[in-house]
Amino acid sequence: MNHDLLIRGGSVVDGTGAPARHADVAIQGDRIVAVGSELGGARETLDASGLVVSPGFIDPHTHYDAQWCWDPVLTSSAWHGVTSVVMGNCGVGIAPCRPAAREMAMMDLVNVEAMPAEVLRSGIRWQWETFPQFMDAVTGGGIGLNAGFLLPLAALRHYAMGEQSGERGANAAEIRVMADHLRAAMDAGALGFSTTVLAQHIGHGGKPLAARLASRDELKALCNVLRDLRRGTIQIAMGGVGGALSAEQQDLLRFLLEESQRPLTWTFLLVPVGNPERALQTLEETDWLTRMGAVPQVSCRPFLTQLEMTNPFIFADRKTFAPLFNTDNARLAAAYRDRHFRDTLRAELAQPGAFSSDWTRLELQQVNAPALNALVGRTVADIAAERGADGLDTFLDIALEDELGARFLYTISNIDLDVVARLINDPRTLIGASDGGAHVDQICDVGYATWLLGTWVRERKAMSLEYAVQRLTGDPARVFGIADRGRIATGLKADIAVFDPATVGSDRLARAVFDLPGGRRRLVSDARGIAATVVNGQLLMRNGDVSATRAGAHLQAA
């Protein structure tokens, strides 16, 4: 029999955790039609000798809601063996969206996900109003990867309530509108809905993101839609760098689980600097919720961010910064010079939050002013000691001395490798946390899959290759109910990653490119050892070269 594509001579790791086996994989159309030996000929053959053939990786946490408009391949994820992404996380997105709410939706993304406003204004191709129309727009115009969609609650509240969505809870009529729209979205193939309770999630105008204002009556109505349909998953942003969940947060998870009777994933369970064991303690404290269906997402990478004080995203949970969102550099600089601002912020930083006043964790990475070049590569703590100054004053002084152009590298979490190893091996967790498409010039963790395979499997031998592949494929497919992907087996969709186990990996730090609309800067992560990716039976990438084929499809939950 002549197949469309034959992947020959590789070591098949099928995504179930089963031992690797030498086998060929035959593909016809968008399906795997045979796995074994002597499978006949094919129109195209891919030699996988010495390579691993696995299911394509499924990234459960991205924010590519806008990026597909100007980058349909969804780089850098596509370079790392990822064949499917879930977007619409954290309750923020650009659909559903009435024309009058477009600016609100874009500014939510600016404030929550640190996307440049001018990039969104020039790059988004508004072709939708409802969520089903948005899903059709994404997957109907030629996208490189498969896309799964969570309906974001902030956008849904804007759709039902207009400007009032950032002021109050919804009334009964508005709740009905939201529930009806979620039901229509689910009927059209949405994977569920997302929300957030994180204090740093600030929406348009410096207000709390609208999703944070949702009442339990609203959440109950949305959960009941999933319960009645018997499908769908909830994603909620909670937890954070402290590694703990409060009793109130745990009770909210219980409420969502009981009202929906559906799986839920919460993001993220991070390993705090200075108290790494807290993450393991939280995992045990929430085990009762895990047994009900709550799955914490974890990262396998050190969590680092590049910080520039023209976009003070990491301070969003500090009240001192609330009036400074969506403002110009002159006003920012004036605030940073102000002694009262500094003293107030200094007091706030003494309390737990996304940014710690441990200045040993903040390194000066890049400057424009030649007079500051000698400081590059040093910590703010070190520079402050040399200057005989306070850490906060030194940090803001450097930013001002470089006319707010200075870039810093901040270590947020996940540097205790022993604890990270235990979390990523624990079957109660889900590995992901890439945030692909968000924080585009600050964070780029989309290479987590190649990092897992290179750093944790090959170098540290912290888990088997077979288990690592399962964690990247079969496990996220299970959490989101995607029954036809995440494994290599006859009859399933032909999403395949082919990689060299001896070289697969990615770098600790991302690199900058200037390819956003308008030539704006973003960070990208280069992959090593990915020989090919196949999406729905079509070669998307081979030996680093991306094809013109765009075979991505709309992910469906069973």
Close Cβ partners of 37 (under 8 Å, ≥ 6 residues apart): 23, 24
Structure tokens, 211 = 């999703």
pTM listed for this prediction: 0.95
From 236, 232, 363, 241, select the one nearest 299 (Cα to Cα): 241
pLDDT score at 352: 83
Contacts within 8 Å (CB) and 24+ apart, 421-426? 421/456, 421/460, 421/462, 421/463, 422/280, 423/269, 423/271, 423/279, 423/280, 423/283, 423/298, 424/298, 424/300, 424/452, 424/456, 424/462, 424/463, 424/471, 425/462, 425/463, 425/467, 426/283
Tens of pLDDT, residue by residue over 212-260, are 999 999 999 999 999 999 999 999 999 866 789 999 999 999 999 999 9
pLDDT of residue 324: 85
Strand 530-535 and strand 538-542: pairing? antiparallel
Q: Cα(469)–Cα(486) distance, rounded to whole angstroms?
A: 9
Distance CA 308, CA 292 (A): 41
Contact (CB, 8 A) for 448 and 435: no
Q: pLDDT at position 327, please?
A: 84
State residue 240's pLDDT score.
Answer: 67
Whether the Cβ atoms of residue 91 and residue 328 lie closer than 8 Å to each other: no
- Stretches in the chain below the pLDDT threshold 70: 1, 240-241
Q: Under a CB-based contact definition with an 8 Å cutoff, are residues 148 and 158 in contact?
A: no
* 31: DSSP letter: E
DSSP string, 75-90: TTGGGGTEEEEEE-GG
- With 0-12 CB in 10 A as exposed, 13-18 as middle and 19+ as buried, what is 100? exposed
CA distance 441 to 311: 10
The whole-number pLDDT of residue 326 equals: 78
Q: Which of 79, 508, 452, 116 is nearest to 303 (CA)?
A: 508
Q: Where are the domains of the chain?
A: 57-302+414-518, 306-412
Tell me the pLDDT tens digit for each residue of 78-121.
Answer: 999 999 999 999 999 999 999 999 999 999 999 888 899 999 99
d(CA 391, CA 356): 11
pLDDT (0 to 100) of residue 312: 85
What was the pLDDT predicted at 430? 98
Q: Which fold has domain 57-302+414-518?
A: TIM Barrel (3.20.20)
